């Protein structure tokens, strides 16, 4: 957004004969003499002695120790503690609910997120590989100034501290150079008004008045006030301790253009791969009633095979 059981048993092992002893029994077998198995014979003399009740009674019966209820509870608690640690500090799974990253991530994709690589370096684990966020990284983070608590978003990092960014007709210019982004959906005339060219969105940050209106509608009115402080000669300059992020589906993404920079401490991690993808309606994110959620769970159970996107299983996120 993954136990070690002790079962002791007392057993009796008989001495195994050497390979040469086994081969030497062949003449006796042919002459009709009785030959004992290796599990019974312990010396060469015993191999020619008849089996008696006294000899078999010396074999100790096997006893099996049963795990107590307290030991079972301890094993369960250990597994839960390890699983909770892994899912809290190492990996976490997330579902993609919107189309803001389409072409890279689809609605209904379930991704495994690496929470270690982009975390701040820790003294207690110096052996863990840490690194800074890079341009082009797909990142999961807590939205700054969210309309709801703990709102996670997934976007692509466009700029790191010191970068100068602006858009012209939807094309990103990074430090004065137009970027080739084959994964990005640009403004287009396809009959959908939301995909058509919009100045404040596609010529960012030129239309400050339009940005102010859009930011207010996205519960980010403070961004409209702060934005002019970061614009130099028509470029947005990324400040220290933050990154600028946008969705790949540029005409459908409410991203940094509408609410500002992502503080470094808000970054949770980066998606590694899609472990499951299910065909999900675009409006499912708006169905928050319990009955709607239960109905969709039933739909998943009955259409798991036919509507799972099997081709996206283990799809690497880049």
Please return the burial class of 107, using the count of CB atoms within 10 Å of its CB with bins 0-12, 13-18 and 19+. buried
- Distance CA(155)–CA(138), nearest Å, equals 6
pLDDT one-digit tens code per residue, 164-198: 999 999 999 999 999 999 999 999 988 889 899 99
% of the chain with per-residue pLDDT over 70: 73
**CB neighbourhood size of 258 (10 A):** 21
Q: Give the distance from CA 130 to its chain's centroid.
A: 17
The CATH architecture annotation of domain 88-316 reads: Ribbon (2.10)
Give the model's pLDDT for residue 283: 92
CA distances from 247 to 28, 180, 183, 257 (A): 84, 15, 10, 10
Structure tokens that stand for 96 in this block? 């993609």
Q: Average per-residue pLDDT in the chain?
A: 80
- Distance CA(157)–CA(35), nearest Å, equals 79
Give the model's pLDDT for residue 64: 61
Q: Give the distance from CA 106 to its chain's centroid.
A: 15
- Distance CA(235)–CA(157), nearest Å, equals 17
Structure tokens that stand for 259 in this block? 């609410």
Partner residues linked to 174 by β-bridges: 165, 177
Please return the burial class of 105, using the count of CB atoms within 10 Å of its CB with bins 0-12, 13-18 and 19+. buried
Give the model's pLDDT for residue 84: 62
Give the closest residue to 166 by CA, choosing from 247, 251, 102, 244: 244
Report angle CA 158, 239, 157 to the nearest 5 degrees. 15
pLDDT one-digit tens code per residue, 9-38: 434 333 344 443 433 333 433 444 433 334
- Distance CA(107)–CA(277), nearest Å, equals 8
**End-to-end C-alpha distance for the chain, whole angstroms:** 16
Residues 9/62, Cβ–Cβ less than 8 Å = yes
Helix (H, G, I), strand (E, B) or coil at 240: coil
Give the model's pLDDT for residue 63: 56
Residues 101-113 have a mean pLDDT of 95
Residues 36/89, Cβ–Cβ less than 8 Å = no
Residues 317/273, Cβ–Cβ less than 8 Å = yes
pLDDT one-digit tens code per residue, 241-254: 999 999 999 999 99
* CATH 2.10.109.10, the chain: domain bounds: 88-316
């Amino acid at each position: 957004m993954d136990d070690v059981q002790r079962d002791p048993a007392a057993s009796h092992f008989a001495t195994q004969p050497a390979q040469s002893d086994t081969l030497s029994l062949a003449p006796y077998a042919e002459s009709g003499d009785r030959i004992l198995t290796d599990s019974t014979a312990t010396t060469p003399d015993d191999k020619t002695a008849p089996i008696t009740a006294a000899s078999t009674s010396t074999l100790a019966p096997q006893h099996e120790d049963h795990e107590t209820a307290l030991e079972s509870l301890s094993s369960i608690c250990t597994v839960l503690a390890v699983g909770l640690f892994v899912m809290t500090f190492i990996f976490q799974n997330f579902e993609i609910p919107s189309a803001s990253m389409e072409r890279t991530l689809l609605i209904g994709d379930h991704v495994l997120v690496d929470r270690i690589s982009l975390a701040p370096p820790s003294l207690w684990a110096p052996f863990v590989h840490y690194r800074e966020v890079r341009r082009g990284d797909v990142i999961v983070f807590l939205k700054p100034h969210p309309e709801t608590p703990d709102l996670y978003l997934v976007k692509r990092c466009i700029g790191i501290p010191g970068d100068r960014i602006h858009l012209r007709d939807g094309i990103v210019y990074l430090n004065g150079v137009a970027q080739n982004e084959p994964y990005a959906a640009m403004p287009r005339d396809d009959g959908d008004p939301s995909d058509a060219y919009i100045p404040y969105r596609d010529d960012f940050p030129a239309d400050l008045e339009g940005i102010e209106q859009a930011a207010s509608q996205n519960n980010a009115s403070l961004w409209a006030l702060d934005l002019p402080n970061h614009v130099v000669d028509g470029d947005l300059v990324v400040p220290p301790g933050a990154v600028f992020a946008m969705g790949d589906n540029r005409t459908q993404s409410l991203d940094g253009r509408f609410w500002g920079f992502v503080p470094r401490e808000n970054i949770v991690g980066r998606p590694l791969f899609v472990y499951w993808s299910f065909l999900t309606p675009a409006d499912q994110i708006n169905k928050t009633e319990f009955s709607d959620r239960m109905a969709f769970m039933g739909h998943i159970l009955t259409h798991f095979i036919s509507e799972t996107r099997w081709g996206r299983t283990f799809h690497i996120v880049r």
